[in-house]
Chain A
Amino acid sequence: MILTSPRLKSKFLGIPLENPFILSAAPSTDELDIARDGLNAGWAGLMLKTTSLETTRVDLAYPMMSAFRGGEKLLGMGNIDLISTYHIEEVSKRVSILKSEFPHKMIAASIMSDSKAGWQTLVKRLKDAGVDLIECSFSCPQGNVGEDPGKMLAQSVSATEKVAGWVKEAAGDLPVLIKITPQVTDIVTITKAIERSGCDGVTASNSIPALMGIDINSLTPIPNVGGRSTYSGLTGPAIKPITLRTIAEIARHQPGFVISGNGGISDWRDAVEVLAVGASNIQICTAVMLYGFGIIEDLTSGLDNYLIAKNFSSVTELVGKALPNLATHDELPREKVRSFVNKERCIGCGRCYVACRDGGHRAISWDYQNRLPEISIEKCVGCGLCLLVQPVDECLQMRIVK
């Protein structure tokens, strides 16, 4: 069931999107037939995996994937992938093919190069092929190619502004997004440089450099590539809070600057959150790699049902709606809050008791007879730790006290 709803439609830099869900530049968009299946499944558009000039050497190492699990659940996915092994000649062809097959979907392409001429050639080739938008990878965790290989372009304000300017100069009216990394001292100095360069917006943000784990038997980091390993790009649910912070920070300081949300969005709830802090749309890769293109059905219907339930007439209305509620720490209200046990919901596990005893303020005592926690209103400072360990909804509640 592909859902089409007027509420989900939007315009992104002049490009009509039937829903806000776009396939990000990744393995799922690296083969023509796979990309085609994604669009047929109902995705509103795609970013073809980052391409380069034929002269750029792409030397992959396998295996490249690894996982960070919490029990049964995969919290994070790591990859030591690089950019696409398909170069600009082939990717330009694919842009033309997909554009003719899917005239109403956004066909965008991601690029990376090492020189002004290189970046501008890539832009020109894609523009000629009829691409809708260009995304520039300034943030591959394995580093950019070029004069300072191994470093990410988007970690330098001056390099970012300079290269983004080259790209926009060649692109002209064609919309350009710069894909940034959250791993910087101050994200806003980077995004302001991008705004100054004339580029249209950012994709916030890329995977995050991480060491995925160590095999404690062989003491080899993972993924184990012939007995050695390297840092991965971390994606998936674990990075969503970082993505949210990155987007919120940009949106707060550069109102109106266009942001495409990316990084850790797995379901429609995550999408609502990312839109609410200021992203105009959602790019997804890891969730598709794990569960397939079919998740689009639940993404679109879930978001649409949410918009109906909350009386939003369109997804655009939701963008940035949480920002007025975001403040700096010193701006926060200093009300007295305390935790209360809801005896109707308490199942008597005592987890709040242990947490408060050893990690809080010893405000909870334990009624051994009835297996019930009791909270001292004098001792409780309202830190909220107990709510983190509650096994059922609303067995504990925070309330403002006078």
Chain B
Amino acid sequence: MILAMGKNSMSNSIFKKISLIPGLGDIAARLEAARCLACFDSPCQKSCPASIPIPDFIRSINSGNVRHAAKIIRQANPIAAICGTICPEEIFCQSHCTRGKIDEPIKIRELHGYATNFEITSSNTETRTKGRVAVIGSGPAGLTCASRLAEAGIKVVIYEQSEHPGGVPAGSIPNFRLADEIINFDLQYINQPGVKIVTNSRIDNPEKLLKDFDAVFIATGLAKNRQTNIPGEDLHEVTTALRFLEDARSGKLRSIQSKKIVIIGGGNVSLDVAALAMNEGAKEVRLLYRRGPKEMKIWRSELDEAQSRGVIIDFLTSPLEFVAKSGKLNAIKCIRMRLTDESDSSGRRIPEPIPGTECVMPADIAITAIGLTSEYKKEITINDDLSTSVAGIFTGGDWARGEGTIVESVRDGKLAALSIQKYLKDKLS
């Protein structure tokens, strides 16, 4: 039996309340950690955008030194609890795990989650306290950058345009994937002396902030859905994925019981919407995607999950018009597609409509999820170190890079914090 050090009773854990998150118990975690080969060159760590010293924290789990394991993770990744819950390990660390050449790769995210969970249940936050930096946006990139700067003794003010800090994890990831408790736990670490978060505060001209601050980090993310620009999009029953997810997260979603839902798009966001709609009791959930399954930019586990929940997916189908009957959405006129031999910039084959294949899908509610954009235009050029063509302005995250994962925003936040520190050192000395 492991005494005090590694003892982590799952019954005390907030994970218990979240049935969809499979947490490892003490024994399972120890057995899993013992499987780690502790490879010299750590391919897992190399493929982690946050560069977490994975073999090191697994060794500490293995020895029952879970507190230190959590410390190693948090030092590399300030939003450790969020990533320990939902980071897609199969596309990062786990995809390069050497153990997979013997049997199965190590469940790295689950071990990470196990350590973070220990930290949650036995938390004692440490506090520490030249320069002032403004961060625009309180998503993963903004929070990570702010936390790193604060640790270096830099005063940070985060401006968040919405009511709550947290960005995508807090705004539009479905609650059943990521509970508020987990987001709040990470926020608690970031809410340290030296960091101030101002919500309901929209910044239209970041350069103006340079009057009061030594540097500004723009990490607004992509908070707007791309429009389909097809007839009928302005109907009341046609909504965007972000609006749908945000309403669900904030409890403002109106009942969709017994409704037929049609989702347009083929990314992870569309799968989140589909899984959520099934959860909310929709009568039928159908997903339209203009290309084939191979072209979907998604994590397979989420596709499997959506399909196992009963989501119908119509591949190679594109909407032409949202059709109304007595002022309300009634159906979506579609056309079947085929893939041409030409590829687009992402390397995926370009689809084209097959003439004469128009069809009609009945729909009570349509949700568009064809990618994200921002209302802020990019009028600066961005350098590799995340500095920009404007001195003192730095940027990172989805707005700077384009849609990505949370942990890639963590990487951006860390890199920007380093670049900002260098800039401040030169400027203030």
Contacts and interface: CB of A to CB of B under 8 A. Distances in A.
Interface of A: 1, 72-73, 267-269, 291-292, 294-295, 297-298, 301-302, 305-306, 309-310, 392-394
B60 A298 contact: yes
A302 B65 contact: yes
A228 B316 CA distance: 70
15 contacts: A1-B75, A72-B35, A269-B63, A298-B56, A298-B59, A298-B68, A301-B67, A302-B63, A302-B64, A305-B65, A305-B68, A309-B5, A310-B4, A393-B26, A394-B1
Contacts of A297: 56, 68
A306 B38 CA distance: 24
Nearest to A294: B56
* The 5 nearest A-B residue pairs measured at CB: A302-B65, A301-B68, A267-B63, A309-B4, A393-B1
Given A268-B65, A294-B56, A297-B56, 4 more contacts: A73-B34, A268-B63, A298-B60, A305-B5
B38 A301 contact: no
Given A301-B68, A393-B27, A295 B59 contact: yes
Interface string B369-408: 0000000000000000000000000000000000000000
B1 A302 contact: no
Interface string B35-70: 100101000000000000000100110111101100
Residue of A268, A292, A305, A394 with most partner-chain B CB within 10 A: A305
Contacts of A73: 34
A296 B332 CA distance: 64
B298 interface: no
A298 B27 contact: no
Interface of B: 1-2, 4-5, 26-27, 34-35, 38, 40, 56, 59-60, 62-65, 67-68, 71-72, 75
A355 B75 CA distance: 47
B5 A302 contact: yes
Contacts of B2: 393
Residue of A267, A291, A295, A302 with most partner-chain B CB within 10 A: A302
Contacts of B26: 393
Contacts of A268: 63, 65
Contact of B63 (A294, A298, A394): A298
Nearest to B53: A1
Contacts of B5: 302, 305-306, 309
Contact of A302 (B27, B38, B60): B60
A294 B59 CA distance: 10
A268 B67 CA distance: 14
A294 B4 CA distance: 24
Nearest to A309: B4
A394 B62 CA distance: 19
B68 A302 contact: yes
Contacts of B4: 306, 309-310
A51 B71 CA distance: 41
B65 A298 contact: yes
Nearest to A267: B63
Residue of A72, A267, A298, A309 with most partner-chain B CB within 10 A: A298
Contacts of A291: 38, 59
Contacts of B64: 269, 302
B400 to A, nearest CB: 31
Contacts of B60: 298, 301-302
A297 to B, nearest CB: 7
Contacts of A72: 34-35
Contacts of A305: 5, 65, 67-68
B72 A1 contact: yes
B98 to A, nearest CB: 14
Nearest to A393: B1
Contacts of A393: 1-2, 26-27
A306 B60 CA distance: 13
A67 to B, nearest CB: 16
Nearest to A301: B68
B195 to A, nearest CB: 23
A294 B72 CA distance: 14
Contacts of A269: 63-64
A17 to B, nearest CB: 21
A309 B5 CA distance: 7
Contacts of A392: 27
Contacts of A302: 5, 60, 63-65, 68
Contacts of B71: 301
B387 to A, nearest CB: 29
Contacts of A294: 56
A291 B55 CA distance: 11
Nearest to A266: B63
A139 to B, nearest CB: 29
A89 B391 CA distance: 61
A301 B59 CA distance: 12
A269 B5 CA distance: 10
B221 to A, nearest CB: 32
Nearest to B72: A1
Contacts of A301: 60, 65, 67-68, 71
Contacts of B75: 1
A244 B26 CA distance: 27
A306 B40 CA distance: 28
Contacts of B68: 297-298, 301-302, 305
B38 to A, nearest CB: 6
Residue of A295, A310, A393 with most partner-chain B CB within 10 A: A393
B335 to A, nearest CB: 55
Nearest to A305: B67
A301 B64 CA distance: 11
Nearest to A291: B38
Residue of B2, B40, B60 with most partner-chain A CB within 10 A: B60
A297 B4 CA distance: 19
Contacts of A292: 40
Contacts of A267: 62-63
A394 B25 CA distance: 14
A306 B68 CA distance: 11
B10 to A, nearest CB: 12
Contacts of B38: 291
A10 B60 CA distance: 24
Nearest to B1: A393
Nearest to B64: A269
Contacts of A1: 72, 75
Contacts of B62: 267
A309 B64 CA distance: 13
A275 to B, nearest CB: 16
A134 B360 CA distance: 89
A297 B68 CA distance: 9
B57 to A, nearest CB: 10
Contacts of B1: 393-394
Contacts of B72: 1
A73 B38 CA distance: 13
A271 to B, nearest CB: 10
A2 to B, nearest CB: 13
A154 B71 CA distance: 45
